[in-house]
Amino acid sequence: MSDYFPVQKIAYEGPDSRNPLAFKFYNPDARIEGKPMRDHLRFAAAYWHCMRNPLADPFGAGTAITPWDDGSDSVENALRRVDVFFEFLQKISIDLYCFHDRDVSPERGTIQETEQVFDQIATRLRQRQDETGVSLLWGTACLFTHPRYAQGAATSPELGVFVHAAAQVRKAIEVTHLLGGQGYTFWGGREGYNTLVNTSLQREREHLAAMLHMAVAFKQEIGFGGQFYIEPKPQEPTTHQYDSDAAACLNFLREFGLLEHFKLNLETNHATLAGHTMAHEMRIAREAGALGSIDANQGTPNCGWDTDEFPTDLYLTTQVMLELLAMGGFTTGGLNFDAKRRRESFEPLDLFHSHIAGMDAFARGLQVASAIRADGRIEEFVAARYASWDSPLGRRIEAGEASFAELHALALQSPAPTLHSGRQEVLEGIINQYLSR
């Protein structure tokens, strides 16, 4: 194991600690609703942000200090990064991770060479997993960085690009399977369009579905038991992505007969870009039985970019945890920090500070959400608000057994309905009561 980070394993010191390298709220073994925090939260680290993000922005070069990385595309450098990443995971107490194929392993001149190098890196990943007990939350293929994917991968107008992408996805699923991955994510990085003027929209959507059907068939062929996810995002880099939000993804999966094979991996900043709250996206997915995993981050509301900030907003993490607890928790999914340190936070130590801030925010969100549930007032209010529907008539309408004729006759002889206050402010006050404790 490497020794690049001059820190001990991060420990829980409690809410009064002033140590920047300690958890204030995340106490992995503390039990909430009968389950240790670590099992509720299932934190994962993103290889791309931890190991491959130079912290550049459109106006300036990368600032990240990475003494372990010689900047080359060599296998040695890639293997060293694996070791450093596992050192980080061990010290930050995160035992799940996610990667894109090209984060961990460089592309070579031919597919054969690229796959052969990938196998070498995968062997090292497997060794480190076995030594540390860390496991792979999900893998994915990077189908958006290389210039060949400039016009999409599965939705490229060029058949040859689709074929290349299929080969790349096939290998990425195979490696994810070999590493015992608990899932595999499809994020349609450039699966969308920049202008409809040059785009055959339905043909592109059909091609995307064809790619996903082949992936399902391959999964079954090799016996990969992990969960497939689609990760919605409305735009950036394209003007419009086909997997634009949770509802659009569910419609796409239904339209093409894929719903039973996929769940959603929801990302906070993608929800924001779609004009939704994360809680909205989670609720839509949860009610459809399709909430799988979470890419945890937050955006800056007054900036239209996917800024991938570390999630530190307690109101947000509380809402996320309320939805998760209501679902009964993750099965295959987890909270993957698809988040990057600010460009100003360029020291290796900032990797720790940023993850600690995110982990503490979610641990606190979990405590608050659990307390709100135990209080019960919000749940009781919502149940009471819909109580009129629990009547025989309400039940019959819900079951599709009523008719306009019947309701017309009933309306004629009924008094005007009485409305009750929605009490939004009271309910928000209850959340604040627990947030401030």
Closest separation in Å from C-beta 185 to ligand XUL = 6
**What residue type is assigned to position 310 of the chain?**
F
Q: Which residues bind ligand XUL (CB under 6 A)?
A: 100, 140, 185, 187, 231, 233, 267, 295, 306, 338
Binding partner at 306 among Co ion, ligand XUL, none, C-beta below 5 to 8 Å by kind? ligand XUL
Binding partner at 341 among Co ion, ligand XUL, none, C-beta below 5 to 8 Å by kind? none
Q: Are 211 and 162 in contact (CB under 8 A)?
A: yes
Known catalytic residue at 420: no
| CB-nearer residue toward ligand XUL: 144 or 252 | 144
Closest separation in Å from C-beta 185 to Co ion = 8
Closest separation in Å from C-beta 157 to ligand XUL = 22
- The closest alpha carbon to 320, from 374, 372, 275, belongs to 372
| CB-nearer residue toward Co ion: 32 or 264 | 264
Cα separation, 13 vs 27, whole angstroms: 8
Closest separation in Å from C-beta 379 to ligand XUL = 32
Binding partner at 66 among Co ion, ligand XUL, none, C-beta below 5 to 8 Å by kind? none
Cα separation, 331 vs 40, whole angstroms: 10
| CA distances, 123 to each of 11, 200, 380 (Å) | 30, 42, 52
- The closest alpha carbon to 172, from 233, 222, 241, belongs to 222
| CB-nearer residue toward Co ion: 87 or 308 | 308
- The closest alpha carbon to 358, from 338, 343, 344, 372, belongs to 338
In 3-state terms, what secondary structure has residue 423?
coil
Rg (CA), the chain: 24
Encoded tokens for 137: 């939350």
| Residues in contact with 422: Cβ distance below 8 Å, sequence separation at least 6, in sequence order | 385
Residue nearest to ligand XUL (CB): 187
Closest separation in Å from C-beta 287 to ligand XUL = 23
Cα separation, 249 vs 254, whole angstroms: 9
- Judged on CB neighbours under 10 Å (0-12, 13-18, 19+), 216 is middle
Q: Mark residue 133 as left, alpha or beta (left: phi above 0; alpha: psi -120 to 50; beta: remaining).
A: left
| CB-nearer residue toward ligand XUL: 191 or 323 | 191
Q: Which residues bind Co ion (CB under 5 A)?
A: 267, 295, 338
- The closest alpha carbon to 358, from 309, 307, 303, belongs to 309
Cα separation, 102 vs 145, whole angstroms: 9
Closest separation in Å from C-beta 359 to ligand XUL = 19
Closest separation in Å from C-beta 313 to ligand XUL = 18
| CB-nearer residue toward ligand XUL: 27 or 241 | 241
Q: Which of 103, 295, 306, 360 is catalytic?
A: 103
Q: Which of 40, 49, 95, 100 is catalytic?
A: 100
In 3-state terms, what secondary structure has residue 57?
strand
Closest separation in Å from C-beta 289 to ligand XUL = 22
Binding partner at 233 among ligand XUL, Co ion, none, C-beta below 5 to 8 Å by kind? ligand XUL
**What residue type is assigned to position 144 of the chain?**
F
Binding partner at 95 among Co ion, ligand XUL, none, C-beta below 5 to 8 Å by kind? none
| CB-nearer residue toward Co ion: 115 or 338 | 338
Known catalytic residue at 39: no
| CB-nearer residue toward Co ion: 243 or 295 | 295
**What residue type is assigned to position 423 of the chain?**
R
| Residues in contact with 343: Cβ distance below 8 Å, sequence separation at least 6, in sequence order | 55, 56, 57, 60, 63
Encoded tokens for 163: 């074929």
Binding partner at 140 among Co ion, ligand XUL, none, C-beta below 5 to 8 Å by kind? ligand XUL
- The closest alpha carbon to 176, from 124, 139, 142, 212, belongs to 139
| CB-nearer residue toward ligand XUL: 238 or 370 | 238
Cα separation, 197 vs 193, whole angstroms: 10
The residues annotated as belonging to the active site are: 100, 103
